[in-house]
Amino acid sequence: MTGQHSFVDLAEIEQARAAIAGTVRLTPVNLSPQLSDLVGQPVHLKLEHTQITGSFKLRGATNAVASLSDDEKRRGVIAVSTGNHGRGLAFAAKASGVKCIICMSKLVPQAKIDGIRAQGAEVRIIGRSQDEAQEEVARLVADDGMTMIPPFDHRAVIAGQGTLGLELLDQIPDVATVLVPLSGGGLISGVAAALKARRPDIRIIGISMERGAAMHECLKAGRPVHVEELATLADSLGGGIGLDNTLTFAMTSKLVDEVVLVSETEIAAAIRHIYWQERQIVEGSGAVGVAALLAGRIKSAGPVVSILSGGNIDMNQHFRIISGEDVDVTREAA
């Protein structure tokens, strides 16, 4: 069922901003002269890949940990995540002295396991699939009373991600269009709720990859549906929105003006542009807004902000992409 939960509102996002202020970094915005020329409006890049742990996921995770009762904090938090949510939650938990376990399957590459351990969390390797890892989470929730923190469909997580919206509005008060990388919709729901409460005229555009754009398919279907996950350079945007989605599907349907899809070639071109022209290192998921701009798919009547949402890319892969090699993860995965 969707629709029975009220939307996360501005008050919750302002509260989140105060709650996470000591842990989370205020990230800068840079004006891009080349992209501004291309669009005919000022284009600013929100450098959220410079956030601690390398992505905005730290905002939601920190707010979710801060929202726990003392008793819940004592028993600890848990998640299944091989990526940025796991890193963010591990750091957030450690920062408030809360125990954290991240469960993953045996198939997860060692580099990702090390990345999460480096943030101070316990990593449990269970079974051969995400589903088996999920079963261990359910056991720890039932037996040890740990609290599961999901990556996007959760009030405190959405409110935490929304702080990015408040922050960018302070930085670029006349922003007209905001480009937001879109997967499960926690980031875009929070950012759209914050911005539309303050300035309903701001256009919010979600950007996903063509390969496995789960939220886009669900919006077309009018309800959460199963969407096959495919290999993509935007690996942090993979995965479904959950058939029992309670908040992000409804909030995205209501608050987001448009969804634009980008191809693998366009994502690679954006990673290259962001490196050589903007002098920043971002992962594929963080580059999709710039990919849409470079492809000429974004029109705006005023200033644009594109959120560079994360920077956790394999540096060998990054090197090959910026060197102009044709890195096709869809072929390599086959």
- Please report, as ranges, the residues that interact with ligand PLP according to CB under 6 A: 55, 57, 84, 152, 181-188, 236-237, 283, 285-286, 309-310
- Closest distance between ligand PLP and the C-beta of residue 71, in Å? 28
- Closest distance between ligand PLP and the C-beta of residue 208, in Å? 9
- Closest distance between ligand PLP and the C-beta of residue 143, in Å? 29
- Closest distance between ligand PLP and the C-beta of residue 252, in Å? 9
- Closest distance between ligand PLP and the C-beta of residue 37, in Å? 26
What is the Cα–Cα distance from 160 to 97, expressed in whole angstroms? 19
Toward ligand PLP, which CB reaches closer, 236 or 245? 236
Toward ligand PLP, which CB reaches closer, 84 or 177? 84
What is the Cα–Cα distance from 249 to 141, expressed in whole angstroms? 25
Residue 196 bears catalytic tag: no
Toward ligand PLP, which CB reaches closer, 42 or 182? 182
- Looking at 67, 208, 300, 309, which residue is catalytic? 309
- Closest distance between ligand PLP and the C-beta of residue 265, in Å? 19
Residue 112 bears catalytic tag: no
Toward ligand PLP, which CB reaches closer, 27 or 183? 183
Toward ligand PLP, which CB reaches closer, 65 or 157? 157
Residue nearest to ligand PLP (CB): 310
- Looking at 57, 67, 208, 236, which residue is catalytic? 57
Print the SS3 string covering the chain: CCCCCCCCCHHHHHHHHHHHCCCCCCCCEEECHHHHHHHCCCEEEECHHHCHHHECHHHHHHHHHHCCCHHHHHHCEEEECCCHHHHHHHHHHHHCCCCEEEEECCCCCHHHHHHHHHCCCEEEECCCCHHHHHHHHHHHHHHHCCEECCCCCCHHHHHHHHHHHHHHHHHCCCCCEEEEECCCCHHHHHHHHHHHHHCCCCEEEEEEECCCCHHHHHHHHCCCCCCCCCCCCCHHHCCCCCCCCCCHHHHHHHHCCEEEEECHHHHHHHHHHHHHCCCCCCCHHHHHHHHHHHCCCCCCCCCEEEECCECCCCHHHHHHHHCCCCCCHHHHHC
Strands 29-31 and 43-46: antiparallel
**Residue the block writes with tokens 């376990």:** 101
Toward ligand PLP, which CB reaches closer, 206 or 303? 206
Catalytic residues: 57, 309
